[in-house]
Chain A
Amino acid sequence: MKKMLIMCGAGHATSTVVRAKVESWLKKEGLVSQVSIKQSAIGDEVTNISNGNYDIVVSTTVVPNEIKDKVINGVALLTGLGADKVFSAVKKEIEA
C-alpha cells in the first residue's frame, strides 16, 4: 500500500477538494485498495516529506525548494486545467 499525503496551507479547504477528486479518481481506476490517504497542513509535514515518509505527495500550496522534487502540484485539480497531468503523475508513483 502506498502512502499518499494531500496538503494545503491550512489543511482545511483546498486539500479537502483535492482529496475528493483523488478519491473518486482512485475509485474509477480501481486503485482504492493500493493507496492510503492522509490530509494535512504543509507546516506540519515538511520534515516528514524530507524524511521520505510518504510515497506520494500532492500539494495545492507553495512548498520549500528542498522538497520541491518530491511534490506533485495539485492545483490543476482545483481549476481543472491540466488535471489529467496530475493524475498521470500520481498513477506513475502508485505503479512505481
Chain B
Amino acid sequence: MFFDRDIMLFHQEAEDSTDIISRIAIRLTEAGIVKRDFGKHVLEREATYPTGLKTKALGVAIPHTDSKYVNQSQIAFASLKKPISFKDMTDPDKKVEVSLVFMIAMSKPHDQMTLLSNLMAVFQNENALIKLLQSDDVAEVKQVLKTNNIE
C-alpha cells in the first residue's frame, strides 16, 4: 500500500540533496499524493532537522515533513548514480554520503509504525540495500521490499 503508486526514480544524477529532494517531491505532487507545498516544507525541515543516516552498507536519507501536507500515505524511492551529501540526522556538522532516498509521506502522524520499523530494518540488511541500489525495475524494488515485509 505504501508503494502502490510506484513513485520510483532510478540511478539519478543529482547535484545535491536539494536537487534530489525536489525531483522526488515534484513526482509526488504531480501524482496528487501530496499537497503543492509539500516539497518546500520537506526542504525546510531537512535544513533544520536533517535525515541522512549512515548504515553499514551505504548512506540512506528519509526526508519527510508534517502530515498536513500529505493527501495519501506513500513512500517514494530514489537511487543515486553517485552518492550525494546529506547532513547527518543527529549531527548537522557531519555529512553522510547517501545512495538511496526514501521520501516518506504520511497522511496521519504516528501511522504505520510496523511499516516504518520494517523499513528501518531494511537499512540493516546490506544485501537488500545493494539490490535496491542496483535495480532499475519497479517490480524488482517492490519484491525486495515485500520480502522485508514492506508493501
Contact = CB atoms under 8 A, between A and B. Distances in A.
Contact of B117 (A12, A20, A59, A60): A20
A36 B64 CA distance: 27
B142 to A, nearest CB: 21
Interface size class on chain A is: 20 to 34
Given A79-B124, A80-B124, A13 B116 contact: yes
A62 B91 contact: yes
A13 B48 contact: no
A18 B50 CA distance: 17
B102 to A, nearest CB: 10
Interface in A28-51: 39, 42
B103 to A, nearest CB: 11
Contacts, number: 78
A12 B89 contact: no
A62 to B, nearest CB: 5
Given A12-B66, A13-B62, A14-B62, A79 B120 contact: yes
Contacts of B53: 75, 78-79
Contacts of A21: 117
Interface centre among B64, B89, B91, B104 (most CB of A within 10 A): B89
A62 B46 CA distance: 11
B67 interface: yes
A32 to B, nearest CB: 17
A84 B71 CA distance: 37
A81 interface: yes
Nearest to A60: B89
B114 to A, nearest CB: 8
Name the 3 nearest CB pairs between A and B, nearest first: A9-B49, A80-B124, A12-B109
7 contacts: A12-B64, A13-B104, A14-B62, A17-B120, A20-B117, A75-B90, A79-B56
